Structure 1
Amino acid sequence: MARQLSLVPAPPPGPAVLTDVWPHVRAALDGDAPLAVVPADPGPAARAAAVLRPEVPLEDGADLVVLTSGSTGDGRGVLLTAAALRASATATLARLGGPGGWVLALPVSAIAGLQVLVRSALAGRPPAVLGPGDRLADALVRTPGERRYTALVPTQLRRFLAAEPEALRGFDAVLVGGAATDPALLAQARDAGVAVVTTYGMSETSGGCVYDGAPLDGVGVRVTAQGIELSGAQLAQGYRLDPAATAEAFVVDGAGTRWFRTRDAGAWQIGTRRAYSPLDPAVAEQARLVVEGRLDDVVVTGGVNVAPPAVEAALREHPDVADAVVLGRPDAEWGARVVAAVVPSPGAVPDLAVLRAWVSERLGPPAAPKELHVLDAVPVLHTGKPDRRAVTRLIEGT
């Protein structure tokens, strides 16, 4: 019997999540009522409906459909089964030390926020929800269980580290993902006694599946010339109403293992050495996965590959810069030029020559931005990730 997909609007952050979304997610995990949690704003909601097409019967087996961020388009609907979501949540809880109470601080229209609900459901208790203006310390007090966890994006970690470091120290683990986390920020958090855990994953893997560079139990990782590829019970079925994209992204090898092609560049870090080929089993236990950015985002300037996340991290370390997004733009001489859009620190006036010297000293001259734009804030997608298309429009004045 064909099942229909229900679109559930994500309420603003706050207690309404527990009445408007939490029961639906629990029903989806039981296989009773498939759903997609979508942005509530009219424009994004209309785009979500156009992609997900709830009037068309749902593919067999799917229980939850997650709309990807759409950083390079309108996004895709990722088909997840209850079994995949449970496998991901179970592996996460095993790595962290067992079930506990969660503070939900992320939007539930994206996989990271939804997984907080899934892990809470497995623990048998709803999360404490952080609303606008709420103090993290107050949410922590409301968090049930002997062990307490939360999940943040790097911007939130930076903000809470400055405002409420004592609250962050109250968590048994603070998962940080959704975007590259600056090494300096991680070092600052760990020096402050925060049990921060970096996560790598995406909607197609039911959320994070590599923690601090090490795959969760049951997760396979391989680094190829085509990028990082992932396998395991947490993988999605594919994409909603898009068999061609599914066949391109999900492949089965000669041994019958199904892999997801992430299109992220990566390497294995072994001590101070990086390996870009299959690991020698003798060193596999010591290796940690390093994500070097999207293959499509690499800026080739003057024949040199520049990874925007590395430049962004360097810029954020400068005292005049609070946040940064780095892009490539066409250049008649260089092929592409590195462009930086930055949010100034309070009272600061970023200077291109100063920032060029700063980046050049750390990453080499090709990585130094050749163009600088100042923003009031970095626009973000519904997932909390930077909206690079919006940044480009701001830069171009369109």
Structure 2
Amino acid sequence: MSALFLPSATPAAQVVTAARCAMNGTGPVLALGAPVADDAVLPAGTIAVVTTSGSSGVPKSVILSRSALTASAMATADRLGAGEWMLTLPPTYVAGLQVIIRSLVQGHDPVVLDGHFSPDAFVDTAGRMHATADGAPVPRFVSLVPAQLQTLLDAADDPAVAGTGRSFRAMLVGGQAVAPALLERAREEGWRIVRTYGSTETSGGCVYDGRALDRVSLRIVDGELQVAGPTLADGYLGEPERTDAVFLTDADGIRWYRTGDAGELTDDGVLSITGRLDNVIISGGVNVSLDRVERVVRAIPGFEDVVVVGADHERWGQVPVVVTAHAEHADALARVRDTVEAEVGVAGRPDRIVPVAEIPLLASGKPDRRVLTALVAR
């Protein structure tokens, strides 16, 4: 089965066209983020292979079918209503792809915000959206990451920005945890925010404001959130063992996806995510392995025994923080940030260096990361 490689810099309009052809069967499978080998074997009905970062920093190529993407799009329409979508996210990531699929399922293209995201661009793009159709108002929807929401809120003293935000029936915000203060600011502006949770393996958002979409099931097993339903991916391209380890089938024949997230469910089914079971944070919508950042920092002379933990951040959701028991040099943070950016990427740059008298240890002799995380939070 052939696949059309669309790298991350591909213009959104080109991805929309390719997605339309893939969905109606006239075009090849989309290879988003990385090429797919010509001899790769893909399940029937595959629409896209989305390559994304894994917890270990090793990329994984997720196979998404027409039925899974369509089920997700229809479940979103059932929850929020039908309408017109603005595309502000990279279309080669699952959140951007899902905005495209939601639009195509409803019979139209998304309205694309071209170029750099800014309050002016947001207002201008909203101005190209339909206000009415056949005399009836057309509901507007947009999907954002928290950094974009903050950018808009910081400009909300402009009546055009504030009014445009209020014109949307729902502004979906996901990709990472959203700071409560940010949500409160948006609500004060009268913006209708919907917090979303999901991943590439679930065809994007599958939990809205803590509640699973229709036909999506949630359970907690040994503290880990698992998800079932028609939106699940088929697995990982060329990695059957990884697929079998992450996608489980229970005694009743129900297929579950192990998210790797620690979560809690209330008696009436409201989900809250309490962290990652592995040592990974999500910074600006990008998975960052703290173990990997730590290895890079420890390779810098004078930083051999540092510990890297995650901390909440209003703009980026979470950020790495370096903890050290040694004196801090004047240029230490700049050196650390530059080195990590070169090895891991922008999202992995530590936010700050926190000096401590000594690194607390567990009985095993390993650093007590829980204590250090609490210390950094204070």
TM over 0.5: yes
Change (3 A) 1:147 1:339: closer
Query: Aligned residue for 2:91?
Result: 108
The one-letter amino acid of 1:196's match is: I
Change (3 A) 1:215 1:388: farther
* Residue among 60, 65, 72 paired with 1:81: 65
SS of the residue 1:68 aligns to: strand
Post-superposition CA distance 1:130-161 (Å, at most 9, x none): 12255211111112361000000010010011
Query: Aligned residue for 2:12?
Result: 17
Q: How does 1:21-60 map to 2 (within 5 A)?
A: 21-39=15-33, 48-49=34-35, 52-60=36-44
Shift of 1:118: 0.2
Structure 2 runs not aligned, ≥5 long: 133-137, 156-160, 325-331, 354-378
Distance in 2 between the 1:342 and 1:212 partners? 20
Shift of 1:112: 0.2
Change (3 A) 1:379 1:342: farther
Shift of 1:63: 1.9
Shift of 1:11: 4.1
Structure 1 runs not aligned, ≥5 long: 40-47, 271-282, 299-307, 314-324, 345-366, 381-385
SS of the residue 2:241 aligns to: helix
* Residue among 111, 133, 139 paired with 1:147: 139
Shift of 1:389: 7.2
Shift of 1:297: 2.1
Structure 2 residue 184 is the aligned partner of structure 1 residue 187 = yes
Shift of 1:223: 1.2
**Structure 1 vs Structure 2 CA RMSD:** 3.6
Distance in 1 between the 2:195 and 2:309 partners? 27
Distance in 1 between the 2:99 and 2:312 partners? 32
Structure 2 residue 293 is the aligned partner of structure 1 residue 296 = no
What TM-score results when the alignment is normalised by the length of structure 1? 0.69
* Residue among 111, 115, 121 paired with 1:135: 121
Contact 2:142/2:171, CA 8 A, preserved across alignment:
yes
Distance in 1 between the 2:169 and 2:8 partners? 28
The one-letter amino acid of 2:96's match is: G
Shift of 1:111: 0.3
Change (3 A) 1:240 1:338: closer
Contact 2:73/2:98, CA 8 A, preserved across alignment:
yes
Query: Aligned residue for 1:391?
Result: 349
Distance in 2 between the 1:343 and 1:250 partners? 33
SS of the residue 1:180 aligns to: coil
Distance in 1 between the 2:311 and 2:263 partners? 23
Shift of 1:55: 4.1
SS of the residue 2:257 aligns to: strand
Distance in 1 between the 2:216 and 2:245 partners? 20
Contact 2:321/2:351, CA 8 A, preserved across alignment:
no
Query: Aligned residue for 2:51?
Result: 67
Would you say how many aligned residue pairs link Structure 1 and Structure 2?
312
Shift of 1:327: 4.8
Distance in 2 between the 1:60 and 1:228 partners? 29
What TM-score results when the alignment is normalised by the length of structure 2? 0.72
Post-superposition CA distance 1:267-321 (Å, at most 9, x none): 12x4xxxxxxxxxxxx32xx410112221127xxxxxxxxx67xx99xxxxxxxx
Distance in 1 between the 2:262 and 2:198 partners? 13
SS of the residue 1:262 aligns to: strand
Distance in 1 between the 2:59 and 2:52 partners? 5
Post-superposition CA distance 1:241-262 (Å, at most 9, x none): 1111110010011111110000
Distance in 2 between the 1:118 and 1:92 partners? 11
Distance in 2 between the 1:230 and 1:388 partners? 30
Distance in 1 between the 2:89 and 2:321 partners? 33
Query: Aligned residue for 2:5?
Result: 7
Change (3 A) 1:57 1:370: closer
Contact 2:322/2:350, CA 8 A, preserved across alignment:
no
